[in-house]
Amino acid sequence: MAKIQRFVKIRRFHTITHQETIKPACQTPPQQKLHNLSMLDHIIPNVHIPLVFFYKNYKSCDINILKKALSKNLTQYYPFAGRYLNAPFSPHIHCNDEGVEFLEASIDIPLYDFVLKRDVDETILNKLIPNGLGCAVNKTSSNMLEVQLNHFPCSGAALAVSISHKVGDGLTMANFLSHWATVTRGGLPINPSFISSNIKDTANLLDFYGNNGKLLSKAIKKSAGSVQLSNLGLVVNMREKISTSCPKAMAGNIFTTAIAKMIDSGEIQLNKVITSLRKDRLDIQGIRDVEEVGKMFLKTLSTLADDQNHRTYMCSSVCRFPFYQVDFGWGKPERVIIVTTGILGSSHFVVMDTASRDGIEAIVHLEEGEMAILQNHKELLLYVEDN
């Protein structure tokens, strides 16, 4: 039987149309050319966290205003325009004004395919992100910030901003984007505070990278059909808990982790878990400065890494962060998506507000077997709305 060979033409749905580098409007002063990382900044891997903002009222005539505003904002957020050299153990960022990669792209998929569908295809979503970095640890890129503006066929745009966790946590990212949007609308840039310190003892930190990997790569262990004992970790913003002055607009990583040990051998009682988390959060008081926050975080994760008997699930909340207030003159975004694949291994959750602010959107990463249990949990599904 003769073999028939067929050639199918696949339509390209995404094309990069322009690429340039946006540099700070003013040069960084010589005394700020080297930004020393805090202990916590140093611990955090060079993970790029992309956020994608979808706007239906985007105006193409605003593109130059958007770029000029970014340039002005980078003068204030000067480490974002620098480079993280000698990764992964360098204790500082070179604030050399090399700038931010700014890409433009066209995408042949309607805007509302992303807005209305809760479960967006990751392959397509990654095309909207600069260099398709997703949330993987990037050992080759020294960039701290990358931007991609995606134009939809009829109207609207998706602005994707990929920021390295080295220069800040979720609130840092939200503040940066809010300030950029304010400048785009004609407002004045602000002068954020940056955490800067000299890390003297790097030996313990280098040892920690091994422990951190051990913690995040733990496999599921089950015995006699019962679920393995586990911990639930909740990321806690520490800006309001530091006894010394700590502005809300301070940039950098300023958080630690509250832990609840779920020790019941049978069914886990949710009220006990919540009570334990609240107690751990209340116990985090009287922290003197950012360096003490870093030591607390290091101690918590090292303890978890040494605990071979418990599986650890991590939860991070960006609820009430002003992501849905980011207005570049096109109105508020129709939807904001945080791409979290790979950031904390296979056992983590990220929760954020919905666009209407009347619900919570949960991004859940679990191993396949656990995900199947979650998706068929009848009691949980009563509270879930999935478009």
56 assigned to some structural domain? yes
Written as one letter, the residue type at 69 is A
Question: Are residues 238 and 312 both part of a single domain?
Answer: yes
Residue 90 pLDDT level (bands cut at 50, 70, 90): confident
386 assigned to some structural domain? no
Nearest to 143 by CA among 186, 174, 181, 98: 98
Say what the pLDDT of residue 138 is: 54
Q: Which tens digit of pLDDT belongs to each residue from 13-38?
A: 788 999 999 999 999 999 999 999 98
Question: Are residues 251 and 374 both part of a single domain?
Answer: yes
28 assigned to some structural domain? yes
Question: Are residues 123 and 227 both part of a single domain?
Answer: no
Question: Are residues 48 and 163 both part of a single domain?
Answer: yes
Among 164, 184, 204, give the residue marking a domain's end.
184
Q: Which tens digit of pLDDT belongs to each residue from 242-291?
A: 866 667 678 999 998 888 877 555 556 677 777 888 777 777 777 788 88
Please say whether the beta carbons of 82 and 36 come within 8 A.
no
238 assigned to some structural domain? yes
> Percentage of residues in the chain with pLDDT exceeding 90?
39
Say what the pLDDT of residue 214 is: 44
Nearest to 90 by CA among 98, 82, 99: 82
203 assigned to some structural domain? no
Residue 211 pLDDT level (bands cut at 50, 70, 90): very low
Question: Are residues 365 and 228 both part of a single domain?
Answer: yes
Residue 280, helix vs strand vs coil: helix
What average pLDDT does range 75-96 have in this prediction? 89
Question: Are residues 241 and 180 both part of a single domain?
Answer: no
Question: Are residues 86 and 230 both part of a single domain?
Answer: no
Least reliable range by pLDDT among 76-85, 188-197, 303-312:
303-312
Average pLDDT of every residue of the chain: 81
Question: Are residues 169 and 293 both part of a single domain?
Answer: no
Question: Are residues 70 and 169 both part of a single domain?
Answer: yes
Residues 6+ apart with CB under 8 A from 252: 38, 40, 41, 167, 168, 169, 172, 194, 195, 290
CATH number at residue 79: 3.30.559.10
Among 165, 184, 203, give the residue marking a domain's end.
184
280 assigned to some structural domain? yes
Quote the pTM value: 0.87
Residues making up the chain, counted from first to last: 387
Question: Are residues 125 and 244 both part of a single domain?
Answer: no
Residue 37, domain extent: 14-184
Q: Which tens digit of pLDDT belongs to each residue from 147-182?
A: 999 999 988 999 999 999 999 999 999 999 999 999
4 assigned to some structural domain? no
Q: How many helices (H) and strands (E) does the chain have?
A: 10, 13
Please say whether the beta carbons of 349 and 340 come within 8 A.
no
175 assigned to some structural domain? yes
The total number of structural domains that make up the chain: 2
Residue 219 has pLDDT above 70, yes or no: no
Question: Are residues 65 and 119 both part of a single domain?
Answer: yes
Question: Are residues 365 and 218 both part of a single domain?
Answer: yes
